[in-house]
Chain A
């Protein structure tokens, strides 16, 4: 008897390494519709609309400048504290929004996921892509202020600036990976939702967003252990010529990105099959 061809085979377990990428590709239209929804729906019925994309990093960088630089008189690197904080905040915001948004994937979409099947990964992927778009807009803002300093001649850009797309990819992978790990755990333990904001805030202080590696003294290792630090430092170094920049540091960050990404994806893929019954 000839082997019959079946398009879909549903079994209790699938092979753990099977990521069903073909199916993901087949649903690419849906990916872009989700992306559009994520972007369009957030600022509907707001006066300032997409301007909010800019306001968040500007306000927090401004606050950091006042609190840490002016009042606490902490040292920063580069031509101005504001540029320093902005250059740290924009990538950090990108990373942390990726984590927080993706950690809620199952919880927020439980209703839709419980009623219809489509590759679940589309949701976190579209969220990450919308964050990349937001990041790109915010980057424009950074570039404007950077260009002012460039015009004044007090920054020294170098070819490391060209690594930006790779930095972005690495941060996206990390943010997505951690977010997916969290979302897989949060199916069973909602505790995750309570601690995640808290973790991300602590992680920010333990990164090079506020304290430059060069002035961290004996606590330098804490900051360097955070895989986002080396990327932020290298990003700033590429544009301003000042900052802590090592190849091993970058290699560590990229390595973490790949490992975390893989772990997140596999955890998510194995959790998605029966999460409807558990959440």
Chain B
């Protein structure tokens, strides 16, 4: 065993620290009241605490590559901070054998006025290497970053790409027994990212122990053997990486509660009817808003109409995180005539899914055939397209995305 984490907890104070809270802390110290007396009393202003981590237990064997998975706010970063000694835990003990190199960020401590060469030494030492080690790796680092020509130029003159490449190169050549990595792969251009993932893979191949946090399930699956899943500061799973990724994706499924469209959700409404229920599921019929790469999106929708139409327009727009429309589904494109009856109408829609991995939002529109809207729901549903495919080889093949939509063509060699 190379790392043993026992009962780790980390508590944060909520609210501002001011003279009042300071005085209360002092009073508590003298009266012997431990702060924990009011820690869960949320009525006390400034006296609120929250456990960002609680009862974390796990052990890591030498050579293992452990993925730490969880949503934003689940406690991943806090756990890494505690493991890399940036901040002390509130409870528990961590025991570690050997040196720890932590990469919570690339380029920590880079000084803009110093040259590339000076920064390689400084940054290397900050990350825990001694001068001798850095000197022996120096050429390799510069080579990896591809900045030979600029190595004696202050880094403030570097392009942001060069800067990041040099920073990552230093980090990648760390050789501690244990490496802690937080999403630093999300830097640089596509080509460089691939180089980084390759480097990570080779590092873990050398029997180095790696703890790795990322949102990119593809990278995690590619690099890790085992995973732990954090939810709201608690560890809910410790298992093989496939199981953990699976559990993570399931836990992530967000629905419109039971599918009921809330009142006043409409962006526009003519008063002639309204959407009542929108339920999303996958091909297997499971309710979800997480879809495998390329897997069709199915919607069951219910519209309550006051009017009778021979033909209506049913539209679903997909928007990206910037709220830009990127994809448009309308029944008219598919020459599919749908009548609208008075009272409740059920629609069942299956959309092909050319979306690249990412998070998207749906607008759902009911309109007259000429386009005059009846009820428009704005960003009513969030969907996530994962970079994993339904089968092991149908996933998204790259570590980055270009655009939002997969195109297709016929490819021949002339």
Q: Which residues of A contact B (CB under 8 A)?
A: 4-13, 27, 29-30, 33-34, 36-37, 40-41, 44-45, 111-118, 188, 273-274, 276-278
Are A115 and B89 in contact, with the CB atoms below 8 A? no
Are B87 and A274 in contact, with the CB atoms below 8 A? yes
Contacting residues, chain A, for B128 (C-beta < 8 A): 118
Say yes or no: A8-B96 contact (C-beta < 8 A), given A30-B126, A45-B113: yes
Choice from B91, B100, B154 contacting A44 with Cβ under 8 Å: B154
When A and B form their complex, which 3 residue pairs have the shortest distance between CB atoms, in order from nearest? Answer: A117-B85, A10-B94, A8-B96
Contacting residues, chain B, for A5 (C-beta < 8 A): 97
Are A6 and B114 in contact, with the CB atoms below 8 A? no
The docked-state distance in angstroms from the alpha carbon of A75 to that of B97 is 65
Q: How far does the Cβ of A120 sit from chain B's closest Cβ, in whole Å?
A: 10
Contacting residues, chain A, for B99 (C-beta < 8 A): 7
Choice from B90, B94, B98 contacting A9 with Cβ under 8 Å: B94
Are A7 and B17 in contact, with the CB atoms below 8 A? no
Are A115 and B17 in contact, with the CB atoms below 8 A? no
Binds A, one of B104-112, B305-313, B342-350, B394-402: B104-112
Are A9 and B84 in contact, with the CB atoms below 8 A? no
The docked-state distance in angstroms from the alpha carbon of A5 to that of B2 is 10
The residue of chain A having its C-beta at the shortest distance from the C-beta of B1 within the complex is A4
Report if B332 contacts A (CB, 8 A).
Answer: no
The residue of chain A having its C-beta at the shortest distance from the C-beta of B85 within the complex is A117
Choice from A12, A33, A111 contacting B92 with Cβ under 8 Å: A12
Report if B253 contacts A (CB, 8 A).
Answer: no
Report if B209 contacts A (CB, 8 A).
Answer: no
Q: Which residues of B contact A (CB under 8 A)?
A: 1, 4, 12-13, 17, 22, 81-100, 102, 104-105, 108-109, 111, 113-114, 118, 121-122, 125-128, 130-131, 154
Contacting residues, chain A, for B97 (C-beta < 8 A): 5-8
Q: How far does the Cβ of A226 sit from chain B's closest Cβ, in whole Å?
A: 29
Choice from A6, A116, A276 contacting B126 with Cβ under 8 Å: A116
Contacting residues, chain B, for A36 (C-beta < 8 A): 118
7 residue pairs A–B, Cβ–Cβ below 8 Å:
A6-B96, A13-B88, A34-B122, A112-B108, A115-B105, A116-B86, A276-B87
Contacting residues, chain A, for B90 (C-beta < 8 A): 12
The docked-state distance in angstroms from the alpha carbon of A29 to that of B113 is 20
The docked-state distance in angstroms from the alpha carbon of A41 to that of B118 is 11
Choice from A7, A11, A34 contacting B93 with Cβ under 8 Å: A11
Given A117-B100, A118-B126, 12 extra CB contacts under 8 A: A5-B97, A7-B96, A7-B99, A8-B85, A9-B95, A36-B118, A40-B113, A41-B114, A44-B113, A112-B108, A116-B102, A277-B12
The residue of chain B having its C-beta at the shortest distance from the C-beta of A5 within the complex is B97
Contacting residues, chain B, for A9 (C-beta < 8 A): 93-96
Are A276 and B81 in contact, with the CB atoms below 8 A? yes
Q: How far does the Cβ of B198 sit from chain A's closest Cβ, in whole Å?
A: 24
The docked-state distance in angstroms from the alpha carbon of A113 to that of B84 is 11
The docked-state distance in angstroms from the alpha carbon of A40 to that of B109 is 15
